Structure 1
Protein backbone atom coordinates (compact mmCIF):
# COMPACT_ATOMS: atom_id res chain seq x y z
CA UNK A 1 0.00 0.00 0.00
CA UNK A 2 1.40 3.37 -1.03
CA UNK A 3 1.03 6.49 1.08
CA UNK A 4 1.50 10.08 0.00
CA UNK A 5 4.09 12.14 1.86
CA UNK A 6 2.67 14.80 4.15
CA UNK A 7 2.54 18.28 2.65
CA UNK A 8 5.50 20.26 4.07
CA UNK A 9 3.26 23.33 4.50
CA UNK A 10 0.96 21.63 7.05
CA UNK A 11 3.01 23.24 9.83
CA UNK A 12 1.67 26.66 8.77
CA UNK A 13 -1.89 25.72 9.75
CA UNK A 14 -3.11 27.60 12.81
CA UNK A 15 -6.35 27.68 14.75
CA UNK A 16 -7.99 30.68 13.09
CA UNK A 17 -11.27 32.56 13.17
CA UNK A 18 -12.55 33.96 9.87
CA UNK A 19 -11.81 37.69 9.74
CA UNK A 20 -14.91 38.36 7.62
CA UNK A 21 -17.35 35.46 8.08
CA UNK A 22 -19.92 37.26 5.95
CA UNK A 23 -17.84 36.94 2.75
CA UNK A 24 -14.64 37.63 0.86
CA UNK A 25 -12.73 40.32 2.76
CA UNK A 26 -11.50 42.03 -0.40
CA UNK A 27 -14.73 41.73 -2.42
CA UNK A 28 -16.71 43.18 0.47
CA UNK A 29 -14.38 46.19 0.49
CA UNK A 30 -14.58 46.58 -3.31
CA UNK A 31 -18.25 45.73 -3.75
CA UNK A 32 -17.36 42.84 -6.08
CA UNK A 33 -19.22 39.51 -6.38
CA UNK A 34 -17.69 36.10 -5.63
CA UNK A 35 -18.53 32.47 -6.43
CA UNK A 36 -17.13 30.40 -3.53
CA UNK A 37 -15.12 31.24 -0.42
CA UNK A 38 -11.82 29.94 0.98
CA UNK A 39 -10.43 30.41 4.51
CA UNK A 40 -6.69 30.94 4.97
CA UNK A 41 -5.60 28.49 7.64
CA UNK A 42 -2.65 30.64 8.68
CA UNK A 43 -4.33 34.01 9.37
CA UNK A 44 -8.11 33.70 8.90
CA UNK A 45 -8.37 35.75 5.69
CA UNK A 46 -11.57 34.89 3.81
CA UNK A 47 -11.02 35.10 0.06
CA UNK A 48 -12.91 34.21 -3.08
CA UNK A 49 -12.03 31.14 -5.16
CA UNK A 50 -10.28 30.91 -8.52
CA UNK A 51 -13.68 30.73 -10.26
CA UNK A 52 -14.53 34.17 -8.87
CA UNK A 53 -13.76 37.28 -10.95
CA UNK A 54 -10.95 38.58 -8.71
CA UNK A 55 -9.52 35.32 -7.24
CA UNK A 56 -8.62 36.88 -3.89
CA UNK A 57 -7.82 33.61 -2.05
CA UNK A 58 -5.08 32.70 -4.51
CA UNK A 59 -3.75 36.26 -4.53
CA UNK A 60 -3.63 36.25 -0.73
CA UNK A 61 -1.72 32.95 -0.70
CA UNK A 62 0.80 34.31 -3.19
CA UNK A 63 1.28 37.70 -1.54
CA UNK A 64 1.30 36.54 2.09
CA UNK A 65 3.10 33.22 1.79
CA UNK A 66 0.15 31.48 3.50
CA UNK A 67 -0.27 28.39 1.30
CA UNK A 68 -3.16 26.37 2.74
CA UNK A 69 -6.86 27.19 2.61
CA UNK A 70 -9.98 25.34 3.62
CA UNK A 71 -13.25 25.58 1.77
CA UNK A 72 -15.46 28.11 3.54
CA UNK A 73 -18.60 26.69 1.96
CA UNK A 74 -21.31 25.01 4.08
CA UNK A 75 -20.89 21.23 4.17
CA UNK A 76 -17.35 21.24 2.71
CA UNK A 77 -14.22 20.52 4.74
CA UNK A 78 -11.45 19.96 2.19
CA UNK A 79 -8.11 21.80 2.30
CA UNK A 80 -5.92 22.93 -0.60
CA UNK A 81 -2.24 23.89 -0.78
CA UNK A 82 -1.62 26.61 -3.39
CA UNK A 83 2.13 25.94 -3.43
CA UNK A 84 1.89 22.20 -4.09
CA UNK A 85 -1.39 22.50 -6.02
CA UNK A 86 -2.78 19.56 -4.06
CA UNK A 87 -5.42 18.65 -1.51
CA UNK A 88 -4.05 18.13 2.00
Structure 2
Protein backbone atom coordinates (compact mmCIF):
# COMPACT_ATOMS: atom_id res chain seq x y z
CA UNK A 1 0.00 0.00 0.00
CA UNK A 2 1.24 3.49 -0.87
CA UNK A 3 0.40 6.45 1.37
CA UNK A 4 0.35 10.13 0.46
CA UNK A 5 1.63 12.99 2.64
CA UNK A 6 -1.59 12.93 4.68
CA UNK A 7 -1.37 9.19 5.30
CA UNK A 8 -4.22 8.36 2.89
CA UNK A 9 -4.12 5.20 0.78
CA UNK A 10 -3.10 6.45 -2.68
CA UNK A 11 -3.71 3.07 -4.32
CA UNK A 12 -7.39 3.16 -3.34
CA UNK A 13 -7.82 6.60 -4.93
CA UNK A 14 -5.95 5.84 -8.15
CA UNK A 15 -7.68 5.22 -11.45
CA UNK A 16 -7.15 2.16 -13.58
CA UNK A 17 -3.94 1.67 -15.55
CA UNK A 18 -2.47 5.16 -15.37
CA UNK A 19 -5.72 7.14 -15.30
CA UNK A 20 -5.99 10.23 -13.13
CA UNK A 21 -6.94 9.62 -9.50
CA UNK A 22 -10.64 9.38 -8.78
CA UNK A 23 -12.27 12.71 -7.94
CA UNK A 24 -13.19 12.61 -4.25
CA UNK A 25 -15.69 15.42 -4.81
CA UNK A 26 -18.08 12.87 -6.32
CA UNK A 27 -18.37 11.14 -2.94
CA UNK A 28 -19.59 14.35 -1.28
CA UNK A 29 -22.46 15.17 -3.63
CA UNK A 30 -25.95 15.17 -2.12
CA UNK A 31 -29.07 14.20 -4.05
CA UNK A 32 -30.41 17.50 -5.41
CA UNK A 33 -33.45 18.64 -7.32
CA UNK A 34 -32.42 20.29 -10.57
CA UNK A 35 -33.63 23.75 -11.43
CA UNK A 36 -35.54 24.76 -14.53
CA UNK A 37 -33.73 24.18 -17.86
CA UNK A 38 -32.71 27.81 -18.31
CA UNK A 39 -29.90 30.16 -17.35
CA UNK A 40 -31.58 32.88 -15.31
CA UNK A 41 -28.64 35.26 -15.68
CA UNK A 42 -28.69 34.96 -19.48
CA UNK A 43 -32.45 35.46 -19.58
CA UNK A 44 -32.09 38.63 -17.50
CA UNK A 45 -29.76 40.24 -20.07
CA UNK A 46 -31.24 38.68 -23.21
CA UNK A 47 -28.36 36.34 -24.06
CA UNK A 48 -28.70 32.90 -25.65
CA UNK A 49 -26.77 29.97 -24.18
CA UNK A 50 -25.09 27.11 -26.06
CA UNK A 51 -25.28 24.47 -23.34
CA UNK A 52 -26.76 24.23 -19.85
CA UNK A 53 -25.01 22.70 -16.84
CA UNK A 54 -26.43 21.75 -13.47
CA UNK A 55 -24.53 22.13 -10.20
CA UNK A 56 -24.49 18.73 -8.52
CA UNK A 57 -24.19 20.32 -5.07
CA UNK A 58 -27.27 22.56 -5.14
CA UNK A 59 -29.11 21.96 -8.45
CA UNK A 60 -28.49 25.47 -9.84
CA UNK A 61 -28.73 25.54 -13.65
CA UNK A 62 -26.50 27.90 -15.62
CA UNK A 63 -24.85 28.26 -19.01
CA UNK A 64 -21.53 26.64 -19.91
CA UNK A 65 -18.18 28.30 -20.56
CA UNK A 66 -18.91 28.16 -24.29
CA UNK A 67 -21.89 30.46 -23.78
CA UNK A 68 -21.51 34.25 -23.67
CA UNK A 69 -22.00 34.44 -19.89
CA UNK A 70 -20.16 31.38 -18.60
CA UNK A 71 -22.46 31.50 -15.59
CA UNK A 72 -21.84 27.91 -14.42
CA UNK A 73 -18.18 28.70 -13.79
CA UNK A 74 -19.17 31.98 -12.12
CA UNK A 75 -21.41 29.93 -9.81
CA UNK A 76 -18.43 27.73 -8.92
CA UNK A 77 -16.25 30.77 -8.17
CA UNK A 78 -18.96 32.21 -5.89
CA UNK A 79 -19.88 29.00 -4.06
CA UNK A 80 -16.98 26.53 -4.39
CA UNK A 81 -19.49 23.87 -5.52
CA UNK A 82 -17.03 21.67 -7.44
CA UNK A 83 -18.94 19.43 -9.89
CA UNK A 84 -21.41 20.17 -12.69
CA UNK A 85 -23.17 17.89 -15.16
CA UNK A 86 -24.59 18.40 -18.62
CA UNK A 87 -28.32 19.07 -18.35
CA UNK A 88 -28.95 17.26 -21.65
CA UNK A 89 -31.09 14.13 -21.00
CA UNK A 90 -29.06 10.92 -21.16
CA UNK A 91 -25.68 12.66 -20.87
CA UNK A 92 -23.20 11.21 -18.36
CA UNK A 93 -20.70 14.10 -18.77
CA UNK A 94 -19.56 15.72 -15.51
CA UNK A 95 -16.87 18.32 -14.87
CA UNK A 96 -14.91 19.02 -11.68
CA UNK A 97 -13.80 22.67 -11.55
CA UNK A 98 -11.31 21.90 -8.76
CA UNK A 99 -9.47 19.26 -10.79
CA UNK A 100 -10.13 20.93 -14.14
CA UNK A 101 -11.25 17.71 -15.86
CA UNK A 102 -14.14 15.43 -16.62
CA UNK A 103 -15.04 12.98 -13.88
User: Is 1:7 paired with 2:23?
Assistant: yes
The structure with the largest alpha-carbon Rg is 2
Runs (5+) with no aligned partner, structure 1? none
1:42 to 49, 54, 57: 57
| CA shift digits 1:28-81 (9 cap, x unpaired) | 333321110000000000010010000000110111000100101133121110
1:53 to 50, 68, 73: 68
CA RMSD of aligned residues (A): 1.6
Where relative contact order (Cα < 8 A, 6+ residues apart) is larger, the structure is 1
TM (norm. structure 2) is 0.74
Runs (5+) with no aligned partner, structure 2? 1-15
Deviating more after overlay: 63-72 vs 10-19: 10-19
TM (norm. structure 1) is 0.85
